[in-house]
Chains A and B, each alone.
Chain A
Amino acid sequence: MIHSLFLVNSSGDIFLEKHWKSVVSRSVCDYFFEAQERATEPENVPPVIPTPHHYLISVLRHRIYFVAVIQSEVPPLFVIEFLHRVVDTFQDYFGVCTEAAIKDNVVVVYELLEEMLDNGFPLATESNILKELIKPPTILRTMVNTITGSTNVGEQLPTGQLSVVPWRRTGVKYTNNEAYFDVVEEIDVIIDKSGSTITAEIQGVIDACVKLTGMPDLTLSFMNPRLLDDVSFHPCVRFKRWEAERILSFIPPDGNFRLLSYHVSSQNGYPVGYRSLVAIPVYVKHNITFREGSSQGRFDLTLGPKQTMGKGVEAVLVSSQLPRGVLNANLSASQGTYTFDPVTKMLTWDVGKINPQKLPSLKGSMSLQAGASKPDENPSINIQFKIQQMAISGLKVNRLDMYGEKYKPFKGIKYMTKAGKFQVRT
């Protein structure tokens, strides 16, 4: 399956390699570099590149390419999914996944890679099992290791691998027992020039942080479970129970994990009489024009809240890729600050919080190249925002119960809506 792994940074240096079978020469990455050169943007490097003797499958995360070398037929998604899992694990261990973090923890990185794959086939990818085998680095442990020369390899035998619930370690103990759930929804929208919604979808997740003693068995029920029609679960969720009763029943992993993710769309794939529209929490009024013959363009943008159930829209950030002909933008913002990068032609406006009484606006003129004809295209506007204490789909958790243990845990639910790929065409 996976033969070798190369880590390539943004300047094209291989800064780490790992081989699970025989050693494959680094020169195999030349094919990757060639493809990288051909691609105009970093994200346009094809994920699968055939070479005469190998196949290269790569993912790009945090400006690092993870290039896996494959020798024979294997489902590409298998490798891609695994590589993403590797990145997630690094992030879990080191907090960030950067070249510096990987280089600082190179021993742990190799230990992890060795445990995650055996002869190229995934062995232990579950975070709990890995943490039992290899302790995540802490400042104290790093210091002790430097002085005593010991490693992060766990002292105890990793019994988690044998358990029927491989995602949970045994003998967990906490003084404060707590279970927190975050319902986070991202809304993906395309709005066309006239302001009508072309597509709107909600991508939701429930992330959990569960620190409970022993082997608790949790059930989570919803007020409106019918919303969750397109879901994917963490392996701990009992699927049969969900099918029959629409209740999430599970023995939780220890610590942070993603319980489920779901997808709500406004499309006609839905049963009749069912909520068919996704509410759009903000609206945009825009007027961006270029006149023929003139070297000036007008830019006028106003944002306003809509269907937010009284909750405030925060952390609003507007960005737009202006046409190549634009030399500079001379705008004034009613609130927040804007920047225009004349090289990349990227306009960003950090709005902050939207005040419904005084709507934020950005107005002014753009100067164009003298003599050049007016740009064909109008820029599209990307918006980011956050709304606390609201799930835009209307999903509500009914109750959380715990069985199997005697103590009373602290429970908490938090809702949040964020803009995903929120795009307005002008």
Chain B
Amino acid sequence: MSASSAFSDEKGGSSSVGEPEYGHDPASGGIFSSDYKRHDDLKEMLDSNKDSLKLEAMKRIVAMIARGKNTSDLFPAVVKNVACKNIEDPNQLIRASALRVLSSIRVTIIVPIMMLAIKEAASDMSPYVRKTAAHAIPKLYSLDPEQKDQLIEVIEKLLADKTTLVAGSVVMAFEEVCPERIDLIHKNYRKLCNLLVDVEEWGQVVIINMLTRYARTQFLNPNLNECLLEEGGESTFYGSDADQDEDEDEDKKDEALSKRKPYVMDPDHRLLLRNTKPLLQSRNAAVVMAVAQLYFHLAPKAEVGVIAKALVRLLRSHSEVQYVVLQNVATMTIKRRGMFEPYLKSFYIRSTDPTQIKVLKLEVLTNLASETNISTILREFQTYIKSMDKDFVAATIQAIGRCATHIGEVRDTCLNGLVQLLSNRDELVVAESVVVIKKLLQMQPEKHSDIIKHMAKLTDNIQVPMARASILWLIGEYCEHVPKIAPDVLRKMAKTFTNEEDIVKLQIINLAAKLYLTNSKQTKLLTQYVLNLAKYDQNYDIRDRARFIRQLIVPTDKCGALSKYAKKLILALKPAPILESPFKDRDHFQLGSLSHLLNTKAGGYQELPDWPQDAPDPSVRNVEVPEWTKCSSREKRKEKKVEKPFYSDSEGESGPTESADSGNSTFYSDSASSSASGSEQSGSGSEESEESEERSDSDEEEEEEEEEAKKRKTQKKEPIEATISPSGSLKSYELLHRITGEGLWVEYCFSRQPFLPDPHMVAVQIQFTNSAATEAKSLRLEEAKLQSGMRVKEFPEIEVLPAGESATVVMGVDFCDSTQAANLQLCTHSRKFFVSIQPPVGELMTPSFMTENEFKKEQGQLMGMNEITEKMQLPERCQNEHAIVQRVIAAANLSRVPCGSDKEFAGRTVTSGSLVLVTVATKESGPSQLTINCEKMVIGTMLVKDILLALTQ
């Protein structure tokens, strides 16, 4: 194949830096070919300082390869010599290409060399080499994920880089290696925002997507109390009684909350919005889309509108771009219809559009339909119905149906239009109309008996099964409105029953049943005839249905209770179907992402977090020396304020300036900031007084809280200390990670103390550490999904945990002697986290004291199936008795049988009290032996594994 040969050809080209050295004078290899040495020598030669020795080694290796000898273990040494030479080249371009070649070798053996090279390149003078280093990071990571920690260090270092060349590449590496380490971004956030415009376009996409996620974890939702924001521009923050919010259903609680604390956008949040906006003008569709999704997810409602124009512009691009953009617009139009309404006509369909584009445009048009524009849209739809593309016509009919359900005024118009379509020549069109009409009629059947009659006549002509089934269902459901026609339809259907499709047959049975119940005089025989036909049908669904219906409606002496309710069952009022957009709720995926497009989570998708209830400490983004040069007076002001960490979330840019930014639709930040500074001065007086007021308020509150907390602490001190186990070195496990917990960090360990309130429970000691800037309130656990039989005794609620403090509590869990995790809900005043406690098998038992005789006796009773024996080779350092005892006891909560000849341990499981006996027999020579006797075999086998692991490692 020409392609593959070219591939290797080209490979050779890219690694040509190394080629000459390998191929250096191959003839001379012949001289040395007889000279047979071990590889170690060659390695030594390659590692030496003398070039001549290296050269000779290389020649020999080439000779060996020529003779077909395996020299693969020399590979790293060779690579080191070939690539490393270039990595130290004075020319940056050569250094960069050398690194690129080196990092493209996908052989695990050179991982250490690659790591070294990347580290070196990351601190290179040339930004281009540093960029290449950033590119190499994901390559190494995919080669050996074990290197993650070291790579994160490199990423951290490169993130601090101040050049635009590096920024995009390092964020790319960050996203591939450690997207969860949002904490690495803090210090670099402002720099990334400021560099963004000058980064190359592909990097921009990656950075913007990452910053969207970041902002969602760090800032407050700007739309939570936007009504206040709007009014704030005119007069004051307070006293907004009238709620003008139309389409946002905020609950009362949020409103109350917002009235107490007016929302002010974090200056960093504003910085991001301001610096991304110019990129809407990018020529790259991916960049425009990235900014659009950022605005959709992060901007105050009043400002999101700017993206509409840019997205509409993309509709002129290639059809694939249109396809993706329309999908995203469809999702946006559900939440923010107003934004695209002015551009309604840009979504009009041309006969030359591909069908998939037509259908998407139709979706957008349907979402945009409202009382004001519906007549225009319907007129447009009328043209579409005449299209030659029948799939598209069917989609249009569906769309008309959806408009009709959402906008009451046009329901009759739509219905009439659809009824007219029933006489269309194309059967598909008729069929689709029937299905839609059926749904519409269900909303108000009493008004439309003439339509139902009309449709009854259609059964003679329409052959599409779905349409026939729909008509039959309609007639059956509303047979009271067409009492004369219905039995006749059944008669006709009974005649053709055997030739119908399955769905039609089922509806015929339904029709028969419904008529039998309402008009049994006329239809009794017909119904029985149909049921008899169905009884011998080939499809067993139909046979089943017939049997079921017969039992239900035809009263016999055998069946009793149910047939009384037959009418209620079959003729129950059915709720009208809701015609919904398939794009509803798709915005829980980050827009513009692959997952959003497919509406399923793609591999590696990073969830878009919910807004935090309280903003995390903004001071984490402060940098000691502000690096960026474009520090306007405005930004300086921000800087100054941010330094006071506790209050900054209520400060920064004030409300009035904010609304000046958003209110008048000046698109360009220059003019916006000038107008903002104007209003700033005028508004500054009131602003300050408010601030000081607030401050004094919160000061007081805080003092009180602190005191309370102190009190609580002193109260709690003693019981907590008592619970801490004397053994000291308990292994603790993480219950809630600091990042997911938004600063709340929870660990647990098994204290091995008896749990006093209930002896059948395992005591779990939980330590809460609050590393967030704000205090955490009302920490408690709630049962979530416990396995059956599992029980939990919660710890008393921790009312307040001040920032930086930690607290320890003990709870009891009855694990039912199984290592199944206890799934719990950890609640704070604002959030709920799902956590699980997974007990190692060794923690499911308590020590039991017994003499050696007792031990032997019990052991004798637990033989056969209950005994598990395993041979093992103990490593040297745990051959002495002390080490063995220590390791066994660390692995399982057992006690040693005193004065035993072997090392014997005993315990009982916590829940059922079954005995667990462990014996470790060591011999002078040969393998040692581990024996476990336990009634519960599962526990036994798991314990063997754990102890074996503890002893042999």
Residues of A within 8 A of B (CB): 15-18, 21-22, 40-41, 43-44, 46-48, 50, 55, 58-61, 70-78, 80-82, 84, 103, 106-107, 109-111, 114, 118-119, 121-123, 125, 151, 153, 157-159, 161-162, 166, 188, 190, 192, 198-199, 201, 203, 230-235, 239-240, 243-244, 258, 261, 263, 265, 267-269, 321, 323-324, 373, 376-378, 380, 382, 421, 423, 425
Contact = CB atoms under 8 A, between A and B. Distances in A.
A269 B602 contact: no
A81 B92 contact: no
A180 B126 CA distance: 37
B467 interface: no
Residue with the highest number of chain B CB atoms closer than 10 Å, among A77, A151, A157: A77
A121 B202 contact: yes
Given A75-B286, A76-B594, A239-B197, A103 B10 contact: no
Given A71-B603, A378-B386, A118 B135 contact: yes
19 contacts: A44-B354, A47-B320, A50-B598, A71-B603, A75-B205, A77-B325, A78-B205, A110-B6, A110-B10, A111-B10, A118-B135, A122-B202, A190-B350, A269-B309, A321-B351, A376-B424, A377-B386, A380-B350, A421-B350
Contacts of B191: none
A163 B887 CA distance: 62
Dominant secondary structure at the B interface: helix
Interface stretch (B151-159, B340-348, B891-899): B340-348
B351 A77 contact: no
Contacts of B595: 73
Dominant secondary structure at the A interface: mixed
B285 A161 contact: no
Contacts of B354: 41, 43-44
A198 B348 contact: yes
Given A44-B356, A73-B605, A75-B290, A198 B285 contact: no
Interface stretch (B275-283, B505-513, B945-953): B275-283
Contacts of A78: 202, 205, 286
Among all A-B residue pairs, the 4 with the closest Cβ atoms: A72-B604, A269-B342, A110-B10, A43-B354
Contact of A119 (B13, B94, B138, B425): B138
Interface in B23-73: none
Contacts of A72: 602-605
Interface in B417-442: 424-426
A162 B130 CA distance: 12
Interface stretch (B311-319, B535-543, B656-664, B836-844): B311-319
A166 B7 CA distance: 28
A235 B388 contact: no
A386 to B, nearest CB: 19
Contacts of B388: 321, 323-324, 377
Residue with the highest number of chain A CB atoms closer than 10 Å, among B354, B425, B669: B354
B415 interface: no
A59 B7 contact: no
A153 B139 contact: no
Contacts of A73: 593-595, 602-606
Contact of A121 (B6, B135, B597): B135
Nearest to B391: A40
Contact of B92 (A74, A111, A162, A231): A162
Contacts of A80: 285-286, 318, 320-321, 324
Contacts of A121: 135, 138, 169, 172, 202
B917 to A, nearest CB: 49
Contacts of B342: 267-269
Interface of B: 2-4, 6-7, 9-10, 13-14, 91-94, 100, 103-104, 106, 126, 128, 135, 138-139, 142, 169, 172, 197, 200-202, 205, 209, 278, 281-286, 288-290, 309-310, 312-313, 316, 318-321, 323-325, 342-346, 348, 350-352, 354-356, 380, 383, 386-388, 424-426, 592-595, 597-598, 600, 602-606, 668-670
Given A118-B100, A162-B93, A243 B670 contact: yes
Nearest to A78: B286
A263 B388 CA distance: 30
A20 to B, nearest CB: 9
Contact of A382 (B9, B93, B138, B352): B352
B425 A55 contact: no
A377 B10 contact: no
A74 B602 CA distance: 9
Nearest to B128: A162
Contacts of B600: 50
Given A80-B285, A81-B285, A382-B352, A48 B93 contact: no
B197 to A, nearest CB: 7
A373 B425 contact: yes
B508 to A, nearest CB: 31
Given A43-B354, A378-B386, A119 B602 contact: no
Given A192-B383, A269-B309, A59 B356 contact: no
A74 B209 CA distance: 10
A121 B139 CA distance: 11
Contact of A239 (B104, B106, B278, B593): B278
Nearest to B197: A239
Contacts of B592: 75-77
A2 to B, nearest CB: 11
Contacts of B348: 190, 198-199
A192 B278 CA distance: 37
B3 A153 contact: no
B355 A230 contact: no
B286 A376 contact: no
Contacts of A267: 342-346
Contacts of B6: 106-107, 109-110
Contacts of A240: 670
A22 B106 contact: yes
